[in-house]
Amino acid sequence: MPLNTGTLDISSLLDVTFQSVAEYGLSNIEEILRDDLEAHNAIAEDMVGNLCEISTDRQRKYGASVEGEMVEVDEYGQAPTQRNAVGSTVGFPLRKFQYNLGWTSEWFKRHTPADMAKAVIGAQKAHLKRLQTDIKKAIFLSSNYTFTDHLVDNVDLAVKRLVNADSMAIPNGPNGETFTASTHTHYNANATLTTTVATELIDDVVEHGHGSMVRVAINRANEAAWKALTGFQAYVDPRIVYRASDTPGQTLDITRLDNRAIGLFGAAEVWVKPWVPANYSFAWDAGDPNKPLVFRQDMPEDFRGLRVAASLESHPLYAEFMEAYFGIAVWTRTNGAVLQFNNATYQDPSL
């Protein structure tokens, strides 16, 4: 009889329900979980990669463009030295998150590999949920704050939001446009969603030179309102049978209703995203190498991604927790703009 061969993964552990962990063998399980966590962390990095630059930096300088003017002089003249404004420091927090496991020697004797697999899957889902929560907070909360880097050396970091009229230096636009730092903001509001305010949302990003691949992320509950805007070009449901008079266009993804592109509005592709609060939308340039956010990881490579926090390295599955060290904050303050369209003035959503 031929042998059934293949790669063991965490789904194979879910089938082991009549044998204890100790009987199944910790070394077998450790290899399966290690490979599964590597795959999970790759998926997590890919998920944040559209919005975040992945880095170990904890702060950077972000600020004004070099500007000045050419001064006419005579044959013996000399133009005065021109000094440029210095940018502001932008900080990125680093936080520690845990998911309780309680794996002890006694636990291994009383529970099955299926129980272990369920715990790991639960931790992975909690990890992805936390990533989405921190992305939402970084984008939709509008006030700067100070973060004490308590996991490193207790240095205070100035964490900034998108451009928010805080008088910090703003780089010039691509055609030399200048912006009043004390009043210019990328957190805007209107009582209703209109073609005008939706266009202004996109222009807030484009006027700063971010125009290679502009996207607008919206909540699924607001899909009909965006499709009703003048000039919106909806992608076509592939289940529709075309008539001779129809012109086929971009097809609509029907595999996931809460995470898909639904059409074009002006210069932007509109996406339904699960992390956008209802009655808010976020525009950014997904093609710009200067991402809106930074996803900060810890310096030691062993602390990156979701991991089993073993009590002893010689016994990698004897652990009370699964842990993840990361932080998400705004980096390119001009590559992103938020619109709230159910209120006259901007209010931070409850997250």
Report pLDDT digits (tens) over 122-133. 999 999 999 999
Residue 242: per-residue pLDDT: 65
The model's pTM is 0.84
pLDDT tens digits, residue range 196-208? 999 999 999 999 9
Residue 130: per-residue pLDDT: 94
Residue 146: per-residue pLDDT: 97
What are the domain boundaries of the chain? 10-61+87-340
Question: How far is the C-alpha of 158 from the C-alpha of 144, rounded, in Å?
Answer: 7
Question: How far is the C-alpha of 271 from the C-alpha of 91, rounded, in Å?
Answer: 29
Retrieve residue 278's tokens: 């209802």
Question: How far is the C-alpha of 308 from the C-alpha of 123, rounded, in Å?
Answer: 10
**From its phi and psi, is residue 167 left (phi > 0), alpha (psi between -120 and 50) or beta?**
left
Residues in the chain with pLDDT values less than 70: 1-9, 64-71, 73-86, 241-249, 253-255, 311-316
CA distances from 193 to 19, 185, 189, 310 (A): 58, 18, 9, 51
Which residue type occupies 208? H
Residue 290: per-residue pLDDT: 94
CA distances from 196 to 142, 202, 265 (A): 22, 10, 12
* CB-based contacts of 68, cutoff 8 Å, min separation 6: 82, 84
The Cα angle at residue 346 between residues 343 and 348, in degrees rounded to 5: 110
